[in-house]
A and B are shown apart, each in its own frame.
Chain A
Amino acid sequence: MFLINCPYCGERDQQEFKAGGEAHIERPKQPTELSDDEWAEYLFMRKNTKGVQFERWNHAHGCRKWFNMVRDTSNDEIKAIYKMGEKPPAQ
């Protein structure tokens, strides 16, 4: 059970949060101009890294805000947390 430092509320137990999958996948601005393959790439393809991974999390049972997390999936170390729209930290 992680202890997650919500950028808006501070440290809270993991059970207040919802994981939202890989971060920094931007919705294409002009989907209609994409080929089926390009659209499928956005829609379906996600990494499943063993190691450092950039993720979206939502403080679902708290402030309802979305934010980003850098987590090492091999040992669950949370390396960084930053707000939506902020630049990811250099690896």
Chain B
Amino acid sequence: MNKNLRVKSSDYIDETNRISFKFNGKTYHGFKGDTLASALLANDVHLVGRSFKYHRPRGIMTSGSEEPNAIVQINPGTNRTEPNVRATEVEIYEGLEASSQNCWPSVEFDIGGINNFLSPFFPAGFYYKTFMWPASFWEKYEFFIRHSAGLGKSPTSSDPDIYDHRNIHCDVLVVGAGISGILAAKNAAKNNFKTLLVDEKNELGGSTFYENNEFNKIDNKTPSEWLKKEIEELKNIKNLEIKTRTSVAAYHQYNYLLAKENLTDHLEAKDKANKIRQRLLKIRAKKVILATGALERPLIFNNNDRPGIMLSSAIKKYSEFYGVACGSKNVFFTNNDSAYESALSLYNKGINVEAIVDIRDQSESKIVKKIEEAGIKIYWSHTIVDTAGYKRLNRVSIMKLSNDGTSVTGSKISISCDCLGVAGGWTPAVHLYTQSGSKLKFDEEKQIFLPNQNTSEQISVGSCGGDFKIDEIIKNLNQKLKDSLNIKETDLDKIKIEIDQENSKRNIWLLPSDKPLGKTKPFVDYQNDATAKDIKLALREGFRSIEHVKRYTTTGMGTDQGKLGNMHALGIIADTAGVKMGELGTTTFRPPYTPLTFGTIVGRNVGKFFDIFRRTPMNDWHVENKAEFENVGQWKRAWYYPINGETMHQAVQRESKAARESAGILDASTLGKIDIQGSDASEFLNRVYTNAWSKLAIGKCRYGLMLNEDGMVYDDGVTTRLGENHYLMTTTTGGAANVLGKLEDYLQTEWPELDVYLTSVTDHYATASLCGPNSKKIIKKIIPDLDLSDESFPHMSFKEAKIGNIQCRIMRISFTGEHSYEINVQASYGKDLWEKFIEAGKEFNITPYGTETMHLLRAEKGFIIVGQDTDGTMTPIDLQMDWIVSKKKYDFIGKRSLYRSDTMKEDRKQLVGLLTEDPNVILEEGAQIVSELNQNPVEMLGHVTSSYFSPNLNKSIALAVVRGGKDMMGKQLFVPMENKNINVTVANPVFYDEKNERLNA
């Protein structure tokens, strides 16, 4: 091992910059410009992983993002570790560590390899068939399956890196910077289109970049030379932004694309620090030019997965671009001329090519002649029937192929080799094209799916559009550019091209062996270990839809999404079922094209930026006074204020007593506030609330209940008439935005004739709610000249006042049942106001209370909380709030639904109070209520919606919804809990001060 397979200095690898890295704990060397794959190959390491199911040894197969086998764990054991990374895409840097996946104890000796020998027992659908019975065993099976499943390991601590999002708007987006993409971008930008060119690789140029086939010439230069000049020119073009290391993950409708820009993964640790690692580009393009190229197809034959078996194009790239020989005894296996280009590349560099096995019977192209002249043996009409070598290929066996391609004849020839390049033709990379919703068509002659019906402004150029030869590519690209961008001349008009003649091809999806199919292992999906016989088994078992076959055999379901083998799977299904490929369709290509990190997806929305939150103007005071907070919608609300180590229960009991005995103060700023103005404001309120509003006097307040059109309670709150045509509506904290939306909807769509304007003023005011028998005295201290007498300022009325220079609105309204005021000031004065009240209230032991105490106090009064005591299935009648539903009004939102046969039923769930037999037992909210304990199955009558221990009544109280509860007053029911049954009695939901005497106390 560790022989050096560098063949000659490459233009793209910096041999002066030696880099050391670790793979599976061992130190290796590569050069700046190497990928992990090319560096390993240069060190003669082919075995890099084990397959998913059979744990077969697997090697590097490709040189790009389509790699199915060489997926590794990067920087294992650190918080920057990343699983399932393709070694072919990792640029090496000093200090890089990587390890194989899915093997134990090591990739060289893997216990799971036993599965390979047991493989006759693991056919397609093995898990579905085996672990079905007995059903009770599933939990035991699951334990073992979960332990053996999965490829890499996710990090166990949080990601230390920074990620980012960026929105980009452009006229033209070009995806892929091969020859087509470069020429498209250049011509678009030159014609004043704001253009963005992206490519997943770190260099522009695609495969033409190292295309030195002497029989192809552009303007009398090799394609490689010619293209380098074009790339040089790109640098001077305005309007053109180029992003390398940027892979488009998703192509959505209306030309909205997501791309991952990789910024620091190729840098060593010291250069990564404090930089953005990856950025998600959200691109909206007027036109999209797809130049995503084509992926070389493997060939499907017996044991086609051994380390050392690679795509022919990959071998060429490793030799031309990275200067690495993948083997010292190379064989190619092909159905077209591509393999000859690779063979010639090796030959020109002095690397030994043993033979070429070609399933065609001949080819007339110049390059084939050149190979023959070089003395390389070509086996025409032959196929590989088997390969040998467990951890590295050492031999292939070939036989003559029958004329119809379904069987082999003659004697077996054995060829010794350590590397096999397979060339099965080219599959246009139409993944992004179909993601956009556009439709494909199958070309029977070329045996490929091609773009057919575009759904957005887009074109597919180059090989992803079905053009493989340089003359076709340039000609069609030129025409498509002119049509799409509406331009008359391009610099492609005058290009002179010479090319090798026709590239013939013979397509056989599954190549025969001398052994019966059942005894062979022709892999279609390398990563998931799906073979051709698994696909045939699925068909025999009755699966017909391609989508079903895919899921049953797991073909194409690995992290590579079957980029190599999916076409063969389709072909084998079509051949076996006797249908045409075009009729079969394809499986759905789903985003992402290559995997994204979670970091890229979430960007900056982590930690405290994960979700928006809102704070009231008094928030700092709550924090300083050690409040505990709870989330209410997006708001952070003070929940309770523990002192001296109180528990929540102790704090709430203290706060509740204080509010009723002397004075309490609540931050009510989060309540939704909607300013309503216009000459039809009263009429509008009449239509949206259940009660009547026309006669509400200016300066008075009224409680309103808002329904949905289905008659169910939607929101509630107090609305104040500030002027003839001016109201201030309050809504629940959580409902504010939706209520405004709903009101706007009715105004704009159903009642555009109404002269009404709605403005959200929730954030503009801070609200302090002051309650308790001493609340009046506290107000008096702060605003001595305000007349607070019951005659001048009765319950449910409003006054404007000034505290110093601060204008404020005071409503005398109550959610606790106590004498109480709500004081609204401009938000910026909120904390100041709050502190003034706290100071003035000291002599009355003013007690700040939070949402928990507020809930308790209102429950003592039987006031509902929409969303806690209601759940979208409660009408006002169900809530025993008939008094608020106007009988006189002709119509209001939801009125008609209150008379539907269903909403009028007597046995609907209705709101009642519950008292426990033992006053110290507190019911659990959500607990079920029954009337019979010995019934089986027991009938659920309803559930507890609110439950507290009331310090003011010295007993537990609860609100509940109970089927037919209205008529059950005094009846005994049961709340069955895990260890006991709790006896309860149905009661009036107003537990405290039923006559409302305290409001005026």
Contacts and interface: CB of A to CB of B under 8 A. Distances in A.
Interface of A: 1-3, 13, 18, 20, 26-27, 30-32, 34, 36, 39-40, 43, 56, 58, 60, 64-66, 75-77, 84-85
A39 B253 contact: no
B895 A32 contact: yes
A58 B741 contact: yes
Contacts of A84: 748-749, 752
A1 B455 contact: no
17 contacts: A1-B252, A2-B254, A3-B254, A3-B255, A3-B256, A13-B284, A27-B750, A31-B891, A32-B890, A36-B900, A36-B901, A43-B709, A56-B749, A58-B745, A60-B741, A66-B745, A66-B749
A27 B747 CA distance: 12
Contacts of A77: 455
Interface in B698-756: 709-710, 741, 744-745, 748-750, 752
A54 to B, nearest CB: 13
A31 to B, nearest CB: 4
A70 B722 CA distance: 42
B603 interface: no
Nearest to A31: B896
A39 B709 CA distance: 10
Contacts of A75: 437, 455
A39 B252 contact: no
A34 B896 contact: yes
Contacts of B255: 3
Interface of B: 252-256, 284, 437, 455, 709-710, 741, 744-745, 748-750, 752, 890-891, 895-897, 899-901
Given A32-B891, A34-B896, 13 more contacts: A1-B253, A1-B256, A3-B284, A13-B284, A32-B890, A39-B896, A39-B900, A43-B710, A56-B749, A58-B745, A64-B744, A75-B437, A76-B437
Contact of B897 (A30, A43, A64): A43
Nearest to A60: B741
Contacts of A40: 900
Contacts of B899: 32
A56 B709 CA distance: 17
A2 B253 contact: yes
Contacts of B455: 75, 77
Nearest to A44: B710
Contacts of A76: 253, 437
B817 to A, nearest CB: 36
Nearest to A39: B896
Contacts of B750: 26-27
B897 A39 contact: yes
A85 B752 contact: yes
Nearest to B255: A3
Which of B256, B455, B744, B749 has the largest number of chain A CB atoms within 10 A? B749
A66 B751 CA distance: 13
A55 B180 CA distance: 41
A3 B256 CA distance: 8
Q: List the 6 closest pairs (A to B, CB-CB), nearest first.
A: A31-B896, A3-B254, A1-B256, A66-B748, A27-B750, A1-B252
B217 to A, nearest CB: 44
Nearest to B167: A13
Contacts of A85: 752
Contacts of B901: 36
Contacts of A43: 709-710, 897
Nearest to B747: A66
A15 B890 CA distance: 39
A63 to B, nearest CB: 11
Contacts of B744: 58, 64, 66
Contacts of B284: 3, 13
Contacts of B709: 27, 43
A13 B168 CA distance: 12
Nearest to A3: B254
Contacts of B710: 43
Nearest to B890: A32
A27 B897 CA distance: 13
B903 to A, nearest CB: 10
Nearest to A66: B748
Given A56-B749, A75-B437, A84-B752, A32 B256 contact: no
Contacts of A1: 252-254, 256
A45 to B, nearest CB: 13
Contacts of B745: 20, 58, 66
A64 B741 CA distance: 8
A60 B455 CA distance: 27
B900 A31 contact: no
Contacts of B437: 75-76
